[in-house]
C-alpha cells in the first residue's frame, strides 16, 4: 500500500550536530537553566492531529511581569485523522519567548481549539511551570569549544560550583586555551574567575618545565597575558586575548560549542519528528 502522510508534527526542528538525540515528553523550557543571554524556547508535546491555526500569542501578566502567558491555537482537522496505534514520541511545537530578565518566571500555557471564537481563558485548563533565569551562563556552558576557521586550536571551559570558603554558592569558570606561542609551538593559556555580565576575564598563565617523566614535575608558571570568554547565548561565545608577547597579535574570535561532557543536558531544544507514515 502506498504510504500515507498522516500529519506534520513539528513546526521547528533544530538539532546541532553535537547534541544527543532526545524527545519532548512534557511541557518545558530550553535551556533547562537559561541565562539572560539565552532565548527561552517553550516546547509543547504534540498530539495526533495537532495543527497550529495561527501564530501563538505571548503576553505578560499585568499584575506580575514574571508571569508569561502563552496562548496556542490549534485547529481540528475537517476530516477525522486516523492515528497510529503506537504514536511515536518526540513531536512538539516550539515557541521562542526571547530573552527573559533575571529571576523566577512562571510560564502559563493554554491550548485552545480554534473554532472561530476565542473562549474565555478563565474557563480553559492551563499548564504551568517555572523557569529560573540566571545572570550567568548555565551548566551547559561546560565543554569543548572552538572556532571553525581555526581548527586545531580549542577551548575547554568548565563551570565549577564553589561549596566552601567565602565564595561558597558562587561559580568559578575555568578557561583552558590550547594555542600556539610566537614560534608556532603548542602551548596552553589558563585563566579562571567568576562571570560578570556574561564575561569571564583574568590574567592567563602558562607553564614550562621538564619533559614528561615519572616523578615530580619541575614546572615554572609564567604570565601569558589577559584572556576573556564572553557567553553569547546557547552554544555561542567569544574569546578575546591580549598577550604580553608583542609578536602575538591581539584580537578576538567567535567560538561555538563542539562537545558536551557525557550526561550533560544540552542547551538547545531536541530534534523533533517531522512526519509520520503508516500503511
Kindly report, residue by residue over 109-158, the tens digit of the pLDDT: 988 876 666 667 777 778 899 999 999 999 999 999 999 998 888 999 99
The bridge status of strand 103-113 relative to strand 67-74 is: parallel
Per-residue model confidence as pLDDT tens digits over 168-216: 778 999 999 999 888 888 899 999 999 999 999 999 999 888 888 888 8
pLDDT digits (tens, 9 = 90+) for 61-86: 888 889 998 888 887 666 666 766 65
pLDDT at 154: 94
Cα–Cα distance for residue pair 205/93, rounded to 1 Å: 47
In which band, very low, low, confident or very high, does the pLDDT at 45 lie, cut at 50, 70 and 90? confident
Between CA 175 and CA 194 the distance in angstroms is 11
Mean per-residue pLDDT of the chain: 81
Say if residues 239 and 257 touch (Cβ distance below 8 Å): no
What is the structure's pLDDT at 90? 57
Spatial contact of 117 and 49, defined as CB atoms under 8 Å apart: no
The pLDDT confidence band at residue 256, using thresholds 50, 70 and 90, is: very high
Distance (Å, rounded) from C-alpha 260 to C-alpha 267? 10
* Rounded Cα–Cα distance for residues 127 and 109 (Å): 5
Q: What residue ranges do the domains of the chain occupy?
A: 4-136, 143-259
Residues 37, 98: Cα–Cα separation, whole Å: 9
Cell numbers at 107, concatenated: 510560564
What 3-state DSSP class applies to 97?
coil
* DSSP label at residue 134: B
Contact 25, 44 (CB under 8 A): no
For residue 125, the model assigns a pLDDT of 79
Specify the DSSP element, H or E, that contains 177: strand 171-180
Record the pTM.
0.80
Rounded alpha-carbon distances, angstroms, from residue 127 to 97, 109, 201, 234: 16, 5, 41, 25
Asked whether residue 2 carries a pLDDT value surpassing 50, the answer given is no
Using a 10 angstrom Cβ sphere, with 0-12 exposed, 13-18 middle and 19 or more buried, the burial of residue 143 is buried
Amino acid at each position: 500500500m502506498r504510504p500515507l502522510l498522516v500529519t506534520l508534527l513539528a513546526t521547528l526542528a533544530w538539532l546541532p550536530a553535537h547534541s544527543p538525540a532526545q524527545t519532548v515528553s512534557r511541557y518545558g523550557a530550553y535551556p533547562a537553566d537559561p541565562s539572560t543571554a539565552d532565548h527561552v524556547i517553550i516546547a509543547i508535546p504534540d498530539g495526533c492531529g495537532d495543527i497550529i491555526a495561527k501564530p501563538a500569542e505571548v503576553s505578560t501578566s499585568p499584575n506580575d511581569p514574571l508571569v508569561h502567558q502563552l496562548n496556542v491555537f490549534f485547529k481540528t482537522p475537517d476530516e477525522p485523522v486516523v492515528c497510529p496505534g503506537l504514536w511515536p514520541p518526540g513531536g512538539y511545537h516550539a515557541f521562542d519567548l526571547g530573552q527573559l530578565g533575571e529571576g523566577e518566571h512562571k510560564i502559563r500555557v493554554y491550548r485552545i481549539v480554534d473554532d472561530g471564537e476565542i473562549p474565555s481563558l478563565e474557563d480553559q485548563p492551563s499548564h504551568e511551570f517555572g523557569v529560573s533565569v540566571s545572570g550567568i551562563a548555565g551548566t551547559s556552558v561546560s565543554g569543548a569549544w572552538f572556532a571553525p576557521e581555526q581548527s586545531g586550536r580549542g577551548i575547554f571551559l568548565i563551570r565549577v560550583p564553589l561549596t566552601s570558603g567565602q565564595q561558597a554558592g558562587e561559580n568559578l569558570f575555568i578557561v583552558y586555551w590550547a594555542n600556539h606561542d610566537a614560534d608556532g609551538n603548542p602551548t596552553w593559556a589558563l585563566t579562571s574567575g567568576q562571570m560578570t555580565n556574561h564575561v569571564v576575564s583574568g590574567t592567563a598563565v602558562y607553564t614550562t618545565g621538564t619533559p614528561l617523566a615519572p616523578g615530580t614535575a619541575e614546572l615554572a608558571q609564567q604570565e601569558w597575558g589577559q584572556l576573556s570568554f564572553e557567553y553569547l547565548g546557547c552554544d555561542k561565545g567569544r574569546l578575546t586575548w591580549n598577550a604580553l608577547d608583542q609578536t602575538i597579535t591581539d584580537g578576538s574570535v567567535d567560538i561555538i560549542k563542539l562537545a558536551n561532557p557525557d550526561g550533560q543536558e544540552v542547551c538547545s531544544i531536541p530534534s523533533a519528528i517531522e512526519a509520520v507514515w503508516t500503511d
